Each structure stands twice: as structure tokens, then as C-alpha cells.
A and B are shown apart, each in its own frame.
Chain A
Amino acid sequence: MTLRLHSEFPAPNRVILQVGGRLDAMTFGELDEAALALLRRLDDGGTVVIDLAGLEYVSSAGLRSFAKIRKSMRARGGHTLLLNPQPQVRKVFDIVKAVPVSEVFTSTQELDAYLDRMQRQITEGDNDE
């Protein structure tokens, strides 16, 4: 079982990256490459949603890949949100405290609510300007 990647752009400032299969020392390179290409297409201040629903396994190499994405998104004023981590992945995240709990969502509804809230903040911020 290898790594499966799929991405879509529901909006110009948002990309959803679906990661499936197994992310380990063997496969993390693929994710790094794909992410690099995707992020390049994303506007500054955009949001990357990494959908982990199909990810069965992650090792420290994969954790490092996620960290890299988050780091570069942060550098560009963007956000990285994680969606639906499976038990094994969740466990690994917990052990190494990989990401802030506020950026991990267990369902799409939860994520949408969060995104809407964020959208409103930005819009209101624009009105204020």
C-alpha cells in the first residue's frame, strides 16, 4: 500500500489535499513534491486543508512533511488545517504533539464552520478598512 494524493481547489485561496495510504520514510518525498507544487499555486494568506481520512499510517518522516507544509504556509501568512486523522495517525500526533489541537478537525462540518467563521472575520476586517 503506497501513498495516495489528490488535491482540489474549491476557492483560489484554499486547497484541499487528500492524503491516503501510508506516509513513511519511503513515501514522504512524494508528498513534499506535491505540496510544493500546490502551494505555489495558492494565494498568499490562503488555507491548506489536509484531509487525512484515507491515511492509515504515518511515521516521523510524514510528520516532518506536514511540519514543512505548515512552516511554509505560515511564512506566507496562510493556515494549515488537518481533517479527520485516523486512530493510528492521531496517536502519533498526540505522542509528539505535532500540531495545535485547534487546527485538527474530526469532521467536514466542523471544518466548514471554522472556515466560515474565519471568512467572516476577514470580510469584516475588509469592511473595517
Chain B
Amino acid sequence: MTLHSISSRMALWVLAGSTLVLATVGALLFSFTRAQILQHSHHEAAALAASAGSQIQARIDRVAVSAQMLATIIATRQDSAEPLLRDTLQANHDMDGLAAVFKPSSEPGDIHPYSPFIRRLDDGTLITRDLSYDANPYGDSNWFLGGLSCSAGCWQRPFVSLSRRRQLINYSVAISREGHPVGIINADVTLDWLHQILGHLNKPEGAYAFVLDSDGNYLAHDNPALVGKRGTPTLLEVLAGDRAESVRLPVAQNPRVRGAVWIYSVPIEGTHWRLGLVVPEIQIYAGVRRIFLWSLALGMLALLAVALITLLTIRRTMAPLGVLADRAEHVARGELDFELPPTTRHDEVGRLTQSFDQMRHELALHMEDLARVAREKQRLASELEIAHQIQIGLLPSEHYLDAVCAHFELHAALRPARAVGGDLYSYFMLDPGRFFVMVGDVSDKGIPAALFMAQTITLAKALAPRGQTPQSLLRLLNLELCRGNDSCMFVTLLCGLLDTGNGNLVLASAGHEPPILCSRDAPQLLDFPTGAVLGLYEDSDYPEHRLRLRRGETLLMYTDGITEASDHHKQMYGIERTMESLGQVSSMAPTAGYIERLLGDVDLFVADAAQADDITLLALTWHGSTPPSTEIGIGNQLPEVFDALDRCEHLLREADVPLSLHSDMRLVLEELMVNTVEYGYPEGRPGQIRILLHPSPDAVTVELIDDGIAFDPLQSVLPDLPGDLADREDIGGLGIHLARTMTSEMRYTRDAHRNHLLLRFIYPNQDSSS
């Protein structure tokens, strides 16, 4: 489990959220409760202070009443003052001593009136002393004079009696006789009981109480160190204020207490004293704080428990999701064979698991489907590749140089836009004197076009001997292609038939692009009337256009792949650019130059835009006719053969053919012709053998035509040559072997009736140089 899992994050968030809520509510509650507590505390403390105040009041009142009573009684019975005092002192333990002091006589020498002072010793016994004979006469002392003026009684300042080692305070009341003060009753009151009262107060913990006298000195304090000291100005000022009953001081006036304190005070009647109860603020809130801390701790624990439960619950709920995530990675790797967690639940997770399972199954099916499609595609691709090879195989070679007389040369180029295409070109010798050439473009593209192209090219070749002229070939071809052409495919075709002897060219077009004639002048578009395309209308006719090629002229045939080649802006190359491009080719350039130039220019124009259509180009150059070849015709008789051999030798000599070749040529011709005469006419029928000699500057070409049975010397088996002819039983095949060895080039064709054998003898000096 990591912090990234949903369960832990959810638990964390639940915890955080609840904590926030708890804290907010707690804080609100706390502040509210605090106010309540403070209020309550005020009441309580005020009540406590009041009760303490009244206790003190009661004690003080007893002293004051006793003293006043004594004053009243003694005023009339001065003599019995001492017993009265003694009884009173006996009865009231708050008093430490009692004195009845009378004004001394103003007359010097008079006897001082008896002024008894009775005080309690530590052991409780009472002793009496007459103050009138004290060393220091009291008549002028402050306490006496002050007391005389207190007819209703008054409390004097506290003092510390050194003799009695305690703090005392006097209560004085004047003894009046006939409206005149004659003396005073003076009660010494100990303050021990005050401490006791303060000490026994049911104070809250940490609180302390004190009593201040009229001068602001501490009469009593829970901290004995402060007794007799003066209260701080702040305290005094606060207590003198309007709201002295309960007031808050930020700093306690007692070194034992820290922090802010609340002071509750009550005045004590009859005196100028003031009782104060000091409660530390921290103490007021201590309870509620403790409760809150406990609540907080418990709340946090509860929240932790809730978070833990959330975590466990979510983890338990989400557990299948983890497995699903894991499995999804399997899926990503293409592994579909795995276990899914059992799904008995009907919640979202259950549904997800089910959908996952379903997805897995469908994915498997899909992948299988995909693989099948891929295999299918591959098979199609390989079939397409084979189809491409077959289609290329249907086309003749891209270069054809007329080997017989070198009168013309042909270059072609075909660039399919796809693996297979609908463009076609073809050429062949219709007979030794006529060369057939054609360029076509099938409607549509791809496999249907390729099939139609194959049909067209095959039919054209098959029908050519029957058609003989471009016009009739196109008619025948049209009829054949119209047959069963339900898909309404069609092909445009341009046919040409070249007379290899003189350069006469007959053209006929079935809706094809017009050819271009490139001569020394600017290229010329041969825009002659054309017939309908092949394959659609059975009764179409194809007018012929005749022209004669002059030496060095080139006829360029092409398909619309050239003129309709488009660049990125859908702009077509067009016929003008085609003509312009061809115009830049020098008239001396080789035939291939036209094709290279035009294709290069089209490529430049198209740049990297995709090739949309097949492109086919075919250039046919007429190199001009040479002096007519010599033909010798003979019958199939040996003497005639040798006669012909002699005539040939003579002709070769005349044509300045190198002497070294004469014997070789004679040997070859003899072997072939003797072979023909001996084996070509098995039933002894008469036959015709024709020998055509074409001497040229670098070679002699000989065409040997006979109407004997089919025989291809190139297919004959090489004879076994043991090194001694005499060892051989059957001395045959030597002649053919000799002929093949001594010829530079040998080609064999067979038409309906005749064997055509083309022999080429290259002149030795050129042979060695090449």
C-alpha cells in the first residue's frame, strides 16, 4: 500500500476533513463554553468573596459592638472599668487587649485618672497595667487624640507590636460624658482570625485572597510575605474603579501566580477595608481546557479509527480494481490469458470487472481478427507483388535497338502509381520489315486495370498478325475487348507500324493522347483524329495517320500520367510544359535522352506530391536507312547452298568485310544451310532458303530464313567432345556447335511457316577493342 493508492488517499482526506470539522466545531464550542465558564466563575467567586466579606464583617462588628458598649457603660461607671474590660476580653478572643484610657487632668499635679490596660498573654492569662503612669504620657499621642474624635468608633491603622510580636489593629471609641469625650476605649484586635478566614475560604485551586486596609496595605494575604506591604498601584487603581467587583488584570500581583488573573473584591462595611479574591485566569479555564483536550484526543482517536475503517473498507472494495489495473498492464503487453478476481458483487467494481472480462474476450477476438486481417493483407501484398512481377514480365524490355539494320531504336519507361497499373506499352516485329509499337492506358487503376491491361497486351500481340495494319488491329482488338466487358472497362491505345526499310509510319489511335514528333525544329503535336476508346462501342472505326520519319526524328508516345501529373497545388503538368521540356532536348541526343529529360522535368514539377496515375513514355527514333541489304534466295539443294556460299563470299569481299571473317561466316552458313537441307525437309519436299546480308560499319548481320521444319539451333544439345573425334560413335551436332561458337550473336524466331535465324558477326578489331 502506498500513499498513491485511492484508499490511503481517501482515508487521509477523510481524516483531514473530519479533523478540520472537529477543530472548527471544537473551537466554537470552546469559546462559547469559555464565556459560560467565565460567567459562572464570576458568580461563584463573587459569592465566595461576599461570604468571606460578611464573615469578616461579623467578627469586626462583634469587636466594634463590644467596644461601643464598654464606652457607654464606662462613661458612667469609670471605676468598674477594669472588671468590665477584663470580662469583655475574657469573652472575646479576637481582642488581644482592651484599654480604657481617660483624659489626663489638665491641672499639673493632679492625680491621673486610672486608665487600665488589660492584655492577654500567650498562655491566656490576663494582665493589667495602668497607662496613666507610663513613661510616655499618652495625652498627646496620636492614637489617643484620634480616638477621642471617634465618638462612633473607628479603626486605626494596623501596627506591629514589638512587645507582643504580632500585628495588631486598634479599634477606638470615645467615652463621652455629657457630650464631651473624656476618654477612649481602645481595643487591640489581632488579625490572626482574618488570616484564618482567608485561609479557610473554599477558594478554587491556585486562587488566593487578601484584605487591604484603607491605605492600600495588605492587612492579610494568603502569601504571608506580602502582609503589611502596600498593594501595587495598578491593583489599587483598579480596586478604586467603578467595576471593582470583578476585574481582570493581565499580571497577577503575587509572585506565586503567573499569567492573567481575575480579581473579585467586596468592601467591608464600617471599615475602609476591602477583601479581594484573586483567581488565575488559567485556573478558571483549566477544567474546560482539560475536558476539551480530552475530547480532542478522543475525537482524534475516533477519527483515526474512522480513517482506518475507511481505509480498510475502501481497500477491500477497491482490491479488485488493483487486480484489474494489474491485468490492464497484461493487456497492454498483449497477454490476454489471465485470472480475473471473482465477481459476486453487483456494484460498480463488479460491473467493471465484468466489463473488463468482456473487453478482454472481445479484445482477444479483435486481435485474432486483426492478425487474420494482417495475414490476409500480407498474402494480398505478396500476391500483388507477384502480380507486379507478372505485369512487368508482360512488357517487353525498356530498350530495343533494331539488331537487323540498326535503323531505329526504342526506349520505353513505365512507372506504375501502385503495385500494378493500367498503363501498357508493347512492341514487336510484325515481320522482318515491319515493327509494331503501341502505348495504352486502361481506365481505372489497380488490379482491375492490370487485368484489363494484361488482356489488351496479350490480345494485341495475338491479333497483330491478323490485323496487319494499326487500323484493323484496333478494330479487331475493340471487338475482342467489347466481348463480355460488363464492367465497362476501356482502354485508350495508340498503335504505330514502322516500315523498318524506309521509316514510313502508320499511326492509329483509340482515344489516346496524341504523340509528339521531335525533330530538329520544335516538337510537334500530331493531333490527328482518333477513334473511340477500345472496349465500349463495337462499331468504332480508327482512322489512320501516315507520316515518314526522317533521320534523327523521334516519335514520343505517352500516357496522361505525364500531362496530368499534379503538384501540391493540384496544378497539372499539361501538354505545353511537356512540349517545352522535349524542346530542350538536343536533336543529337540519344533516344533515352527524351525520356530522361521529360521524366526529370515532371519529377521536378511534381516535387514530393504523390504520383496519382501510372506514367508511361515511349520514344521511337529513326536512325535512317542504310543501303538496301542483299538477299539471296535458293532452293533446298546442296549445290545451290554452295553456290550461295560463293556469292556470299563475293558480296562480303565487295562490302569490305574483314577477310578474317570470311571463312568463319562461310563455315557458319554452310553448317546451318547444309543442316537445313539435310534435315529440314524430311519428306524430300522442295523448299526455299533466303539469306539476307546486312553489312554495317562494325558488324555483318545475316538473316537466314527457311521454310523447313522448326529447328532452333540454340536449343540443340552441346555434343560430347572427348578430344578425338574418331572415338565417337555418332559424329553429329559438330556443325551446329561450330556455328554457335563462331557467331557473335544468334537469335532464333519461328513464325507460322518459317525459321528465322539472325546471325551477327562483329568485326574482329572492334571485338577486341570492346
Partner of B726, one of A57, A60, A70, A95: A70
Partner of A98, one of B639, B667, B725: B725
Q: Kindly state the separation between the CA atoms of A27 and B442 in the bound complex, as whole angstroms.
A: 62
Check: B627 CB closer than 8 A to any chain A CB: no
Partner of B666, one of A57, A60, A74: A57
Flag if B741 contacts A95 (CB, 8 Å): yes
- Do A59 and B667 contact each other (CB < 8 Å), given the known contacts A26-B642, A64-B734, A67-B731? yes
Q: Kindly state the separation between the CA atoms of A61 and B638 in the bound complex, as whole angstroms.
A: 13
- The residues of A that contact B725 with a CB separation of less than 8 Å are 63-64, 66-67, 70, 96-99
Interface residues of A in 17-63 (CB under 8 A from B): 24-26, 56-57, 59-61, 63
- The residues of B that contact A60 with a CB separation of less than 8 Å are 671, 734-735, 738
Check: B233 CB closer than 8 A to any chain A CB: no
Partner of A97, one of B671, B674, B722: B722
Q: Kindly state the separation between the CA atoms of A97 and B256 in the bound complex, as whole angstroms.
A: 144
Check: A76 CB closer than 8 A to any chain B CB: no
Flag if A25 contacts B670 (CB, 8 Å): yes
Check: B316 CB closer than 8 A to any chain A CB: no
A68: shortest Cβ distance to chain B, in Å?
8
Partner of B734, one of A57, A63, A71, A100: A63
**Chain A interface size, under 10 / 10 to 19 / 20 to 34 / 35 or more:** 20 to 34
Interface residues of B in 705-728 (CB under 8 A from A): 719, 721-726, 728
Check: A88 CB closer than 8 A to any chain B CB: yes
Flag if B671 contacts A64 (CB, 8 Å): no
Check: B663 CB closer than 8 A to any chain A CB: yes
Flag if A97 contacts B723 (CB, 8 Å): yes
- Do A25 and B638 contact each other (CB < 8 Å), given the known contacts A59-B670, A100-B723? yes
| Binary interface encoding of chain B residues 298-333 relative to chain A, with 1 for a CB under 8 A from any of its CBs, else 0 | 000000000000000000000000000000000000
- The residues of B that contact A80 with a CB separation of less than 8 Å are 726
- Do A26 and B638 contact each other (CB < 8 Å), given the known contacts A88-B663, A95-B737? yes
Check: A92 CB closer than 8 A to any chain B CB: yes
Flag if B726 contacts A71 (CB, 8 Å): yes
- The residues of B that contact A92 with a CB separation of less than 8 Å are 667, 738
| Binary interface encoding of chain B residues 640-683 relative to chain A, with 1 for a CB under 8 A from any of its CBs, else 0 | 01100000000000000000000110110011001000000000
- The residues of A that contact B731 with a CB separation of less than 8 Å are 63-64, 67
A37: shortest Cβ distance to chain B, in Å?
20
Flag if B738 contacts A96 (CB, 8 Å): yes
Q: Kindly state the separation between the CA atoms of A96 and B724 in the bound complex, as whole angstroms.
A: 9
Interface residues of B in 353-375 (CB under 8 A from A): none
Q: Kindly state the separation between the CA atoms of A68 and B664 in the bound complex, as whole angstroms.
A: 24
Interface size on B, residues (CB 8 A): 26
Flag if B726 contacts A67 (CB, 8 Å): yes
A55: shortest Cβ distance to chain B, in Å?
11
Interface residues of A in 69-95 (CB under 8 A from B): 70-71, 74, 80, 88, 92, 95
B724: shortest Cβ distance to chain A, in Å?
5
Nearest A residue to B729 via CB reads A71
- The residues of B that contact A99 with a CB separation of less than 8 Å are 724-726
Nearest A residue to B645 via CB reads A24
A81: shortest Cβ distance to chain B, in Å?
13
Nearest B residue to A98 via CB reads B725
Flag if B638 contacts A100 (CB, 8 Å): no
- The residues of B that contact A57 with a CB separation of less than 8 Å are 663, 666-667
Flag if B721 contacts A24 (CB, 8 Å): no
Q: Kindly state the separation between the CA atoms of A121 and B641 in the bound complex, as whole angstroms.
A: 48
- The residues of A that contact B638 with a CB separation of less than 8 Å are 25-26
B114: shortest Cβ distance to chain A, in Å?
192
Interface residues of B in 623-645 (CB under 8 A from A): 638-639, 641-642
A102: shortest Cβ distance to chain B, in Å?
10
B736: shortest Cβ distance to chain A, in Å?
9
Interface residues of B in 233-260 (CB under 8 A from A): none
B191: shortest Cβ distance to chain A, in Å?
163
Flag if A24 contacts B670 (CB, 8 Å): yes
A90: shortest Cβ distance to chain B, in Å?
12
Q: Kindly state the separation between the CA atoms of A113 and B723 in the bound complex, as whole angstroms.
A: 24
B258: shortest Cβ distance to chain A, in Å?
136
Q: Kindly state the separation between the CA atoms of A59 and B734 in the bound complex, as whole angstroms.
A: 9
Q: Kindly state the separation between the CA atoms of A57 and B638 in the bound complex, as whole angstroms.
A: 17
- The residues of A that contact B735 with a CB separation of less than 8 Å are 59-61
| Binary interface encoding of chain B residues 33-63 relative to chain A, with 1 for a CB under 8 A from any of its CBs, else 0 | 0000000000000000000000000000000
Q: Kindly state the separation between the CA atoms of A56 and B663 in the bound complex, as whole angstroms.
A: 9
- The residues of A that contact B726 with a CB separation of less than 8 Å are 67, 70-71, 74, 80, 99
A105: shortest Cβ distance to chain B, in Å?
16
Q: Kindly state the separation between the CA atoms of A61 and B315 in the bound complex, as whole angstroms.
A: 107
- The residues of B that contact A25 with a CB separation of less than 8 Å are 638, 641-642, 670, 674
**A25, A64, A70, A99, most chain B CB atoms within 10 A:** A25
Q: Kindly state the separation between the CA atoms of A61 and B671 in the bound complex, as whole angstroms.
A: 9
- The residues of A that contact B723 with a CB separation of less than 8 Å are 97, 100
- The residues of A that contact B724 with a CB separation of less than 8 Å are 70, 97-100
Q: Kindly state the separation between the CA atoms of A100 and B721 in the bound complex, as whole angstroms.
A: 11
Partner of B738, one of A66, A67, A71, A95: A95
Q: Kindly state the separation between the CA atoms of A31 and B234 in the bound complex, as whole angstroms.
A: 169
Q: Kindly state the separation between the CA atoms of A60 and B738 in the bound complex, as whole angstroms.
A: 8
Task: Show 21 A/B contacts (Cβ-Cβ < 8 Å), sorted by A.
Answer: A24-B642, A24-B670, A26-B639, A59-B735, A59-B738, A60-B671, A61-B674, A63-B731, A64-B731, A71-B726, A74-B726, A88-B663, A88-B664, A92-B738, A95-B742, A96-B734, A97-B722, A97-B723, A97-B724, A97-B725, A98-B724
Please give 19 more A-B residue pairs, beta carbons under 8 A apart, in addition to A59-B670, A88-B667: A25-B638, A25-B642, A25-B670, A56-B663, A59-B735, A60-B738, A63-B725, A63-B734, A64-B731, A70-B725, A70-B726, A80-B726, A92-B667, A92-B738, A95-B738, A96-B721, A96-B737, A98-B724, A100-B723
Those 3 A-B pairs whose CB atoms lie nearest each other, nearest first = A60-B735, A67-B725, A70-B726
